[in-house]
Structures are given as structure tokens and as C-alpha cells.
Chain A
């Protein structure tokens, strides 16, 4: 698969098979994640991999946005105290960006390996933190579900790039002409 194909054919998968994701594939995803850009090279991320059905069941209880058939979750976590100590208050803003970069690497790597993924943000951070036994300063900023799947979701609608691209300034000449 070419890089462009990888980007364009990736989908958010919400229906998984029961087949367990192998440890080496999980580690390949995390290895892709840790090569993402990171502010000040702080590498604040930690990855909690959950495949235990009892823990999964409890996380699902507090995650309204979680696909029901999920059998593997990677929680991307940040130690906020450590982050602030090393990066100052600014890091509270940049940490979620770093996490998103890392997640995107994981999603693309998973797609290359034939795995489906879905980013989940609709969950209660405190409850999930309790379930994962995170230290008080550590927060799960994003959950990524991973698994094998049968059917690829439908192709979503995307805006044409002409609707979103701006040259030099917001009101570029092309945009101004369009509006006339």
C-alpha cells in the first residue's frame, strides 16, 4: 500500500472480531507512536495496553463512545506533574497535540498491519484513571481501540480542498473571486 493509499483508506472501525491482537503488533503500534513529533522532545506519553476482559468491561461502562465489540484498548496517558516540571505551564496545551500526533502514527501503522482502530474521547477520565490504577497526576488523554475487523466502514464525506485551503491570508484572491 502506498503512503497516500494508507492515509485515504484508513477508517474509524467500530465493529471488531474477537481475534486477539498479537503482542508484537501492539508493540509495533507503540513503536510507531513514539516516533511522532513531540514538543521539546519531552516524550511525555505512556501507553497502557488493555486486553483483560474484566478491565475492558469496566472501561466500557464509563465510556459511552466506546465500540461495544472492543477487545483491545491502548490508553495514551501523560503524567501532568512531570510534564509541567519539565515543560512549564505551556505543556498543558501542547501535551494533547503530542498525544494526537502519536495516535495518528498508531492509526496508520495499524492500518498497514491490517488492524482497525478508533479514537475514543467520550469517556470519563477520572473513572478510567481509577480503573487503570493511574497515579493521581497521570491522565488518560485518549483511548484508541484496536482490533481485527471484517467489513471496512463506508467512505465518509470529505470537503474538497478548495473549501479549506487558503493562500497567504484567509481572504486570498481566489476566495474573494469565488464569493463574487
Chain B
């Protein structure tokens, strides 16, 4: 993680923490998912498992649903978590 990456993730996390005090509740999970994508983007492909990049694509598909379709957003989260659990159990 270079210095620019550090600036990005640290400011994102702290600014989001303050924002979550007043923002809509579903923005909290959204920020965590964004942080996941951001951290993943800071890794080189060979530094982690391909699964995490695939998971990121799935997350990208439902992430913005939190602004209009809470049900689909939560379903997407459940599916992502189920997929992650299966991956951890079977690796």
C-alpha cells in the first residue's frame, strides 16, 4: 500500500465514520462495501485470491441498490456473505 493509497483509505474511513452519524442508515453498509473494494484495489492481483475480485464484481452489481431498493440490497449482501462463507470453509 503506497502513500496515496493510505491517504485514500484512511480519509475514506474517517470521513465515512463522521458521515454515518447523520446519513441514512443503509449508507453504513454501503461505505463498508466501498472500503472493501478500495482495499482490494490497492492489492496486486497476485497478492490475494481471485475469489475476492469475483466477489467484488458481485458486490458492484447490487451496491447502489441501497439508494432505491433496500430489499435487493440486503439480498445481495446475504448472497455475498454466503458466497464468502462457502469460500472460507472450502479453501
Contacts and interface: CB of A to CB of B under 8 A. Distances in A.
Interface of A: 14, 61-65, 122-124, 127, 156-157
B53 to A, nearest CB: 17
Interface in B1-36: 7-8, 11-12, 15-16, 18-19, 23, 27, 31, 34
A77 to B, nearest CB: 19
Contact of A62 (B15, B31, B69): B15
B12 A64 contact: yes
Contact of A157 (B15, B31, B69): B69
Contact of A61 (B8, B18, B23, B68): B8
A37 B45 CA distance: 52
A61 B12 contact: yes
Contacts of A65: 19, 27
A34 to B, nearest CB: 29
A52 to B, nearest CB: 17
Interface in B52-85: 64, 68-69
B19 A124 contact: yes
User: Interface residues of B: mostly helix, strand, loop or mixed?
Assistant: helix
Given A61-B12, A64-B31, A157 B68 contact: yes
Interface range on chain B: under 10, 10 to 19, 20 to 34, or 35 or more?
10 to 19
18 contacts: A61-B11, A61-B12, A61-B15, A62-B15, A63-B15, A64-B12, A64-B19, A64-B31, A64-B34, A65-B19, A122-B27, A123-B15, A123-B19, A124-B15, A124-B18, A127-B15, A157-B68, A157-B69
A157 B64 CA distance: 13
Contacts, number: 29
Given A122-B23, A122-B27, A64 B68 contact: no
B69 A64 contact: no
5 interchain residue pairs of minimum CB distance? A61-B11, A64-B16, A62-B15, A124-B15, A122-B19
A142 to B, nearest CB: 15
Contacts of B18: 124
Contacts of B16: 64
B31 A61 contact: no
A63 B8 CA distance: 11
A128 to B, nearest CB: 10
Contacts of B31: 64
B36 to A, nearest CB: 13
A62 B68 contact: no
